[in-house]
Structure 1
Amino acid sequence: MAVYVYAVTTRDHPCRVEGMTGVGSDGAAVRVLSTGALRAVVSDIEEEIRPKRRDVAAHQAVQERLMEDGTPLPLRFGYTAPDDDAVLRALEEKEDFYGAALERVADCAEYHVKASRAQDIMLREILEDLPEARRLNDEIRQGSEDPRLPVELGRMVAEEVEQRRANAAERLIGSLAPLGREYVVHPVGGDDDFLALSLLVRRDDEGALNALDERTGNLGDGVEVRLTGPLPPYSFMS
C-alpha cells in the first residue's frame, strides 16, 4: 500500500504521533518507520492527495506535534512513496543527506517575514521627491493631450518604485539576517509586498527572538511587516 510521508527525523526523536490520524478520506493512523539512524513519519494512503483543507490541516498537525520535541525535516504537502520498503530504502540510501540536513536545522525553527508598503504612499512620495515626475503629473492633470506624458510618467514611477522597494528590502534583510543561522529570500507575492524572507533561528535564542519582534515592529512610513513563526523549517531543506 502507498504511504504518505510527513517528515524525517533523527533516530532519537520520540515521534509522539500515537492517536493521530493522517491525510486522506480514511484518515489512517500516523506511524513511524525507523532505520538505524533515521525515522520517517508516515500514514497509509489509498487515493491521490490534493490540497484540501482537511488534509492540509492534518499534514500541518503532524509537523507541529513533531516540532514539540525537536526539529524534524518536514516534507512538502503531497509526498508519497509506493510502500514502507521504499521509504526505508530511501532513508538508508540517503542517510548522509538527511543526516546533514537534520544537523543544519537542529534546535531551530523557521520564521517568515513579509513586508509591504502601499503603492499610493510611495506614489505621493515620488511626486514630492522628483520634480520631473511632478511636472509630468501636473501637465496630465491640467489636460495635456500629449500621449507621451503618461508613458513617460509611468516608466519613471515604475523604475523609482522598484528601486525604493529594493532599497527597503536590503535594509530590512541587513537588520534581520544576523539574527538567524541562515536566511532565504523568496519571490514576493502581493502588489504591495517588497520582501518575503525566511530566517532559521535557534528556538532557545531569546535574544534573537526578542530582537526579531522588535525589528519587525512599527517601522513607520507606511511599512507593514507580518511575522509568522515558529514554523517547521520548510525553506531550509535543500
Structure 2
Amino acid sequence: MSTYVYAITDATHPVRLDGLRGVGDPPSPLRTVRTGALTAVVSDAPPGLRAKRRDVMAHQNVLESLMADGATLPMRFGLLGPDDERVADVLDREEPAYRQRLAELDGHVEYHLKAGRDEDDMLRAVLADSAQARELNERTRGGSGTHEDRVALGELVSREVAARGEREAGEIVARLDGAATRSAVTGAGGNHFLNASFLVPAERTDEFVRAVRAEADRCGDAYDFTLTGPLPPYSFV
C-alpha cells in the first residue's frame, strides 16, 4: 500500500499525534518515518482517495497541530510515496534542502491575497489616460466607427487593463513586503489582477493584516481585496 505524507519536521520536533486522525474512512492511523535528522508524518493511503471535506480537514488538522509545536514543512493534500522505505530514502537524499527550508519557515505562517478592480472603473481610467482610446470609443459610440475601430478599441483596452493590473499588483506587493519575510506572485485570472502569497512571521500577523487593510482603504471602493489566512506555508515549501 502507498504511503500518504502529511508533513516533514526536524527530528527534534515532539510530533504529538495523540487525538489526531488520518485520511480515509475509517481514518488511517498516523505514524512516523524517521531518519537521523528528519521525521515524516505519514499513514497508509486509502484506495481511491479524493479531496472530500472529511479528508481535507483531517490533513489540515494534522498540519496545524504539528505547526503549533515547531517548524513544519506541510505537504499538499494527496502526496503519496510508494512505501515508507522510499519516503525515508527521500528524506536522506534531500536532507540539506529540507533542513534549510525548515529553518526558513520556523515561526511563519502564510497569507493569500487576491485583488480585483471594478471593470467600469478600470475602463474609465483607461479612457481618461489614453487619447487614442477616447477617440476610438467616441467614434464607436457615435456610430461612425468601423469594425476595425471596434477591434482596435478592444485590443487597446485589453492591453491597457493588463498593463495597469500588472503595475498595480507590483506596487501593492512591494508595499506589503515590508510586513512579510517573502512573497510569491502567481498568475492572476478572472476578475483579479493580483494573486499572491506572503510568508509572515507569526508575531507580525496583526501588522500584516493592518497593512492589507490600509492598501484596501488606499485603493477605494472600486477595488475588492480578499485575504485568507493564517495558513500552513504551502507556497513556500
Alignment-derived partner of residue 193 in structure 1: 192
Secondary structure (helix, strand or coil) at the match of 1:188 reads coil
Is structure 2 residue 97 aligned with structure 1 residue 123?
Answer: no
Deviation at 1:207, TM superposition (A): 6.8
* Closer/same/farther in 2, CA of residues 46 and 164 from structure 1, 3 Å limit: closer
Give the corresponding residue for 1:174: 174
Q: Deviation of residue 213 (structure 1)?
A: 4.1
Who is 1:106 aligned against?
106
- Which letter maps to 2:66? L
Q: Are 1:73 and 2:73 an aligned pair?
A: yes
User: Within 5 Å, which residues of 2 pair with 1:22-37?
Assistant: 22-37=22-37
Q: Is the 8 A contact 1:8 1:72 kept in 2?
A: yes
* Larger deviation, residues 163-172 vs 132-141: 132-141
Number of aligned positions between the proteins: 236
> How far has the Cα of 1:65 moved from its partner?
1.8
**Runs of 5+ unmatched residues, structure 1:** none
In structure 1, what is the equivalent of residue 134 of structure 2? 134
Larger fraction in helix = 2
Partner residue, 1:60: 60
The answer as to whether partners of 2:16 and 2:66 remain within 8 angstroms in 1 is yes
Asked if the contact 2:14–2:69 (Cα under 8 Å) also holds between the matched residues in 1, the reply is yes
- Structure 1 segments, 4+ long, off by >4 Å, are none
Q: Which runs of 5+ in 2 are unaligned?
A: none
Residue 143 of structure 1 and its aligned partner are, at CA, apart by 2.3
* Inter-partner Cα distance in structure 2 for 1:200 and 1:126: 33
In 2: Cα distance, 1:154 partner to 1:163 partner: 14
What SS is found at the alignment partner of 2:96? helix
- Between the two proteins, what is the percent identity of the paired residues? 42
The TM-score normalised by the length of structure 1 is 0.89
C-alpha contact (below 8 Å) 1:18/1:31 kept by paired residues? no
The one-character-per-residue Cα deviations of 1:174-227 (angstroms, maximum 9, x if unpaired) are 10112222111111132x211111111111236743543443442315121111
1:153 aligns with 2:139: no
Q: Secondary structure at the match of 1:13?
A: coil
Confirm whether residue 212 of structure 1 aligns to residue 211 of structure 2: yes
CA RMSD of aligned residues (A): 2.0
Counterparts of 1:10 and 1:234, CA distance in 2: 17
